[in-house]
Chains A and B, each alone.
Chain A
């Protein structure tokens, strides 16, 4: 074996690219989305036997063909965006908060608890204020615990926040059993269906208007916070280099804890909007995987809240579009997951080509 080992040039090698121009980077991303669309079309074609144009038309129809569908798309978009905004400051600080799922659930749980226990005790306006405070505090606490451990003992925040998700899910299943209606059924049912106590107000007769407004406000806030505030600057510096941050007199632990509190509180708002605003019930699926999808949304947008509107739109569009395809062409629900998988694969793949380049080895004799 040893003898056979000779120096052989590989066919290609991978090298880190120097920073490339923004228009090139976005060109690569646009191409990858196009490639994803084509590939998704081919897969859909193979499964349905329809021509790809009919498939794209169905996706667009699934998202935009009625006013209600546009609102449903918007709701999917803003709820995903809300959680993405929440994880962004932590990510920018290089604190890998993958516990958004749990933070949203706990926020929702706090909301549900307020609705159930104070529904007939507090006046409606006060109840809603209590709900807002409790949900934000609950989400914040859920994020604070791993933050403190990170700041004090330098524990691994990725594992810690991930584990907190499971604790959150178990807590919710526990309370579902406590609150279930009817007893033993494993369902909470709609909370305060008759009195509607604690149901967030509908604006302009549009159920989802409130979430849209709240999340847009949060987007603007987050953009300004990250770009122009001192806090935003500090957390960016901590993310780039903790030592630099210390050198310029930033209290790193304080920044970690403060940022995670913000991150968790926004997740709490997402839970509030889901439980108090639209579902009026709670289950372990209330967060619906948004806590994980949000990681993609935030990364793909390079932690820029404004770009995140576009990346959330993309994922929301594919989710709703794929769901329509599975209905029209009699495919099961797994189809949406397959399509989302394809899209994410291509987009993440494009980041590779933005950061690295493939260099083919100069002419060797046995090139095939």
Chain B
């Protein structure tokens, strides 16, 4: 069975390589790629023998890993690191294999090691404790600020802001459908295919929903989970199911082409993630938000070379260009989308608009739902204690609501917004 699976996997992999490359070859078309962060690079020259190591959960066939791989290539190219000094390990499980790989990279002389998947964290920490002269960087993790190792760092980006902006594009599209009388139901409804029901995904779909709601107040959303980060068939099925439930637009937070493909086949607009899918979905792709990891990688590498400390927990933002939107597909997007996104983006950067402004959503609290939240009589959030320290106790420890909004990605980079707000139904 395994070998059969392997054969199928190889064939599919070959197909996917074609599809993914076709889908992503132009994704950076509209974005500026000039570095605005990592100013240190002007003064720090990378020694010719400086080696960097990268650990990826899957290979290029996963949109998630592809996004990291592209960023690593871009960062290394801009810093002038020669090919032979870049070691990329793909397909590294979230198990002891990650520790072995990290230590093997240390043996090969890497002074900078980066891992891209949440489950790699404990094994990276284990390696960091052993190889104290090497700097370890881990994307999406939560433990660096409590482990307090000088050579272990977490990073994430305020991607909820990117999702919010993508949500505006979705809301504009829904308004357009409504004006044309093309909504499937009475009111606009979106569908969302998520991987796992925890903060990273919840924060993502809630911000997406709030973005859409900011321009289309009546919108509701249904969410389903596949319980896998990469399961093409399940993601496709989930999207098809949502389409059958009369969703007018689909978005997703899972890493295969399953949901975008289902949308293209059904002619349902799609707001994507991790990168543009316009090549594969020319008629339905609207826009995609993504985290651009290159600024952080550059910063981390130059800091390592210069012997400077990097924050234990770094959050990329719209300003650092860590949070990006791809080019809008004019064919699918509503008119005026770009202008609306630009206006909202400027307000987010200026701090005059907040994604999780408590006035923009209501929360229902009962004995087993949103227990860490407090709300006023209108249902607006007044207090929330989030599990920021992540000691495995699942207990809220930090008050994150103040000045009228929920402070996401400020107390630590990895998302901790995990409230089930009204208007979103989990199937």
Contacts and interface: CB of A to CB of B under 8 A. Distances in A.
Nearest to B107: A66
Interface string A48-91: 00000000000000000010110010000000000000000000
A211 B422 CA distance: 52
Given A332-B61, A338-B10, A183 B1 contact: no
Interface stretch (A124-132, A184-192, A223-231): A184-192
A59 B10 CA distance: 21
Contact of B119 (A189, A292, A338, A341): A189
Nearest to A290: B2
Given A327-B89, A332-B13, A332-B59, A279 B95 contact: yes
B96 interface: yes
Given A189-B122, A279-B95, A341-B3, A184 B196 contact: yes
A102 B228 CA distance: 20
How many A residues are at the interface, by size bracket?
A: 35 or more
B304 interface: no
B91 interface: yes
Given A66-B107, A68-B103, A292-B3, A186 B196 contact: yes
Interface string A329-344: 0101110011011001
Contacts of A326: 90
Contacts of A337: 6, 9-10
B87 interface: yes
Given A283-B95, A327-B90, 18 more contacts: A165-B1, A182-B198, A182-B387, A184-B196, A184-B201, A186-B195, A187-B94, A190-B122, A280-B96, A281-B122, A326-B90, A327-B87, A327-B88, A332-B13, A332-B60, A333-B90, A338-B10, A341-B6
B71 to A, nearest CB: 16
B59 A69 contact: no
A182 B198 CA distance: 8
A193 B122 contact: yes
Contacts of A193: 122
A253 interface: no
B199 interface: yes
Contacts of B95: 278-279, 281, 283, 285-286
A332 B92 CA distance: 12
A285 B117 CA distance: 16
Contacts of B198: 182-186
A180 to B, nearest CB: 8
A250 interface: no
